[in-house]
Amino acid sequence: MIDNAISISNLTARYGKNIALQDINIDVKEGEFLALIGPNGGGKSTLIKAVLGLASYEGKIEIFGQKKIDDVGYVPQISAAEKKFPISVLEVVLSGLHQKTLNPFSKYSQTQKNTAMETLERLGIEKLADRQIDELSGGEFQKTLLCRALLSKPKILLLDEPTANIDPSSAKNIYELLKELNKTITIVMATHDLFAVSDGVTRLACLNKTLVYHGEPQLTLDTMDKLYGCPVDLIAHGIPHRVLGHHGENE
Ligand code: ADP
Ligand code: MG
């Protein structure tokens, strides 16, 4: 039997009177690569934060059948402004050992530093170890955050818009890395980059306050309409055929 890596039942999340997520039921099986898509404000970040225990909610969330949040790596969405912090790549990665803080003054053992260097090598950015983060490109910074999340060897990786504000070729590179990582790690990635869903993603969940669709990484016009209310506009921007199925037959 395949275990559920994440099991979400009857999840409702509010900010004051505003309901961000309503009655969400979704299971993520071990080994899946789930893309969470939906419009801005659709609740993607809130869902990820609820899983991490960073947002309050009603309902039940279990990680490998348990209430505790072990084995989960998190790549938050970080704005360019937050890159102005005076800290090196290696220090950011090492801060993954105590996920909640980004403290450049902590002391780390040689073994911990070696593990961090190995993780940087795995993602091909070991040469950047001593670089200050404000001197990194968007893609390099995302890889640094990915290394940080991987340092504690999580079984589940949650990523919030890992390709926001980075160029298409860096984004492609990140998707290739994630596809490779997915051989051993369950992945949930929030994105509004619809091209991402055609590469490596095994399941799709579409969120617009409610769960509009959950299934194969293939979208129908009906789902797109419920999700964005503007299928025509989206087609004009060019969606890969694998993502947007053929609809002509039934109409
Ligand atoms: P997404 O990540 O899909 O863009 P979010 O989860 O950030 O969506 O937001 C879902 C809804 O919750 C939106 O209506 C947003 O305005 C609201 N929201 C998100 N974060 C907060 C917050 N910290 N305080 C109040 N409202 C919030
Ligand atoms: Mg978000």
Q: Output the DSSP codes for 193-221.
A: -GGGGGSS--EEEEEESEEEEEESS-B-H
**Contact in structure between 23 and 210 (CB atoms under 8 Å):** yes
- Condensed to tens digits (0 to 9), the pLDDT of residues 31-46 reads 999 999 988 899 999 9
Cα 109 to ligand 2 centre (Å) = 35
**Contact in structure between 190 and 44 (CB atoms under 8 Å):** yes
Atom of ligand 1 nearest to the CA of 160: 2
Atom of ligand 1 nearest to the CA of 49: 6
| 46 close to ligand 1 (CB < 6 Angstrom) | yes
Cα 5 to ligand 1 centre (Å) = 25
Q: For residue 49, what are its two tokens?
A: 């934060």
Q: Is 63 exposed, middle or buried (0-12, 13-18, 19+ CB in 10 A)?
A: buried
Give the β-pairing of 18-29 and 33-37: unpaired
Residue 242 has pLDDT above 50, yes or no: no
**Contact in structure between 129 and 88 (CB atoms under 8 Å):** yes
pTM: 0.88
pLDDT at 68: 83
Q: At what angle do helices 168-181 and 138-150 cross, to 10 degrees?
A: 20
pLDDT at 217: 84
What is the pLDDT confidence band of residue 85, given thresholds at 50, 70 and 90?
confident
CATH numbers and ranges of domains, the chain: 1-71+154-175+184-251 (3.40.50.300), 82-153 (no CATH)
What is the pLDDT confidence band of residue 104, given thresholds at 50, 70 and 90?
low
Which of 55-59, 99-103, 118-122, 144-148 is predicted with the least confidence, judged by mean pLDDT?
Answer: 99-103
Q: For residue 243, what are its two tokens?
A: 């993502």
The tokens 């790690």 sit on which residue?
185
pLDDT at 106: 62
Residue minimizing CA distance to atom 22 of ligand 1: 15
Residue 230 has pLDDT above 70, yes or no: no
Residue minimizing CA distance to atom 26 of ligand 1: 15
